[in-house]
Amino acid sequence: MATVAIIGGGVIGSGWAARFLLNGWRVQFHDPAPAAEEALQRSLDKARRWVPEVYDGLPAEGPLEIMTRLEDAVAGADWIQESTPERLPVKQAVLAAIQGACSPSAVVASSTSGFMPSELQAESVRPEQIVVAHPYNPVYLLPIVECVPSVRTSAAIKARALAILEQIGMKPVAVGAEVPAHIGDRLMEALWREALWLIKDGVATTAQIDDIMTHGFGLRWAQKGLFETYRVAGGEAGMQHFLEQFGPCLSWPWTKLTDVPDLDDTLISRIVDQSDAQAAGRSVSALEAERDANLVALLKTLRAQDTAAGAFLNRLGKTTS
């Protein structure tokens, strides 16, 4: 039985543990935080509820062992997933401890959303062993993962990482070059920055911005992404016509993407107040439950249409059944 070591829990680490467990792996979990096991159990409960709704051919759940020592957790592991706080010195220290106790042949992957693998490898004794595997929350449901090597990551580790990610039902994107924040977070950061300006300038509230996304282009993006959406917008002439028609607007001063709004106390208070009003008393757990149920319903619809993430899940089901 293949073994994974999950180092660091929280939302992402616990999500990784759930995905590996439900795909039949032995999970050795280590997180010294007092509430780590409770957070892990919450993720497992949600994953056991929702994952079988959209993933076919799941094997018997693997065994879970809570380890008090990092060294014991990584011993004998084929894959080690580091999901510690997003502070470079912390990650470098944890990765050093991992490499001091793990097999040289194991894949050592980081969930980092911002750091490049070369930064993580800077203090490493075996830089060729380290790769970034950046998922999206909830890890147990969303299949996409950015797999980012540096020039020092070995070809064998890169190939093995991609193969294992596919084995646990994920769709890895082999990122061609390392950049800070990889692909997805760079796109989301641009949208986030513009949203902050719209709130700061009194143009829109948090609820209005979310309504435009959930009732508009977000629905298109879930099935067609950015470029296919724009290709369709170009009519029968496709992308060529779209670029000719809308390309000139790129030079217009519509957005403030090159400027960073000052996230001062006033703006923070405005965002928090609007977000509280938008939540209307619903807890984070309730919002997570809504999110997972909606994701499952959407994924089922996409499976029925055999498109986008649904097409991937259909292909995955054929290989596992």
Q: What is the CATH number of the domain that holds 249?
A: 1.10.1040.10
Q: How far apart are alpha carbons 22 and 39 in whole angstroms?
A: 17
Q: Give the separation between CA 310 and CA 314, rounded to whole angstroms.
A: 6
Share of the chain above pLDDT 90, in %: 88
215 and 275: one domain?
Answer: yes
Percent of the chain exceeding pLDDT 70 equals: 100
Q: DSSP character for 217?
A: I
**Average pLDDT in the 83-88 region?**
97
Give the CATH number of the domain where residue 110 resides: 3.40.50.720
Residue 145 sits in the same domain as residue 17: yes
* Cβ contacts of 219 within 8 Å, gap of 6 or more: none
* Residue 304 forms part of a structural domain: no
315 in any annotated domain = no
Average pLDDT, the chain: 95
Average pLDDT over every residue of 93-104: 98
The boundaries of the domain holding residue 147 are: 3-174
In this structure, are 165 and 189 located in the same domain? no
Q: Indicate whether 189 and 262 sit together in one domain.
A: yes
> 202 and 93 in one domain?
no
CA–CA gap between residue 16 and residue 29 (Å, rounded)? 10
Q: What is the mean pLDDT of residues 89-118?
A: 98
Inside any domain, residue 286:
no
Instruction: Identify the domain boundary among 127, 150, 174.
Output: 174
Give the residue among 131, 124, 118 at the shortest CA–CA distance from 81: 131
198: confidence class by pLDDT, cuts 50, 70, 90:
very high
The confidence band for 108, taking pLDDT boundaries of 50, 70 and 90, is: very high
**Which residues face 174 on adjacent strands?**
147
Give the pTM.
Answer: 0.93
Tally of structural domains, the chain: 2
Give 176-183's long-range contacts (Cβ < 8 A, gap of 24+): 178/116, 178/117, 178/118, 178/132, 178/148, 178/149, 178/150, 179/116, 180/114, 180/115, 180/116, 181/113, 181/114, 182/113, 182/132, 182/134, 182/146, 182/148, 183/146
Helix (H, G, I), strand (E, B), or coil: what is residue 85?
Answer: coil
Does 19 reside within a domain? yes
pLDDT tens digit sequence for 14-64: 999 999 999 999 999 999 999 999 999 999 999 999 999 999 999 999 999
Could you report the per-residue pLDDT of 124-155, keeping only the tens digit for each? Answer: 999 999 999 999 999 999 999 999 999 999 99
pLDDT at res. 321: 61
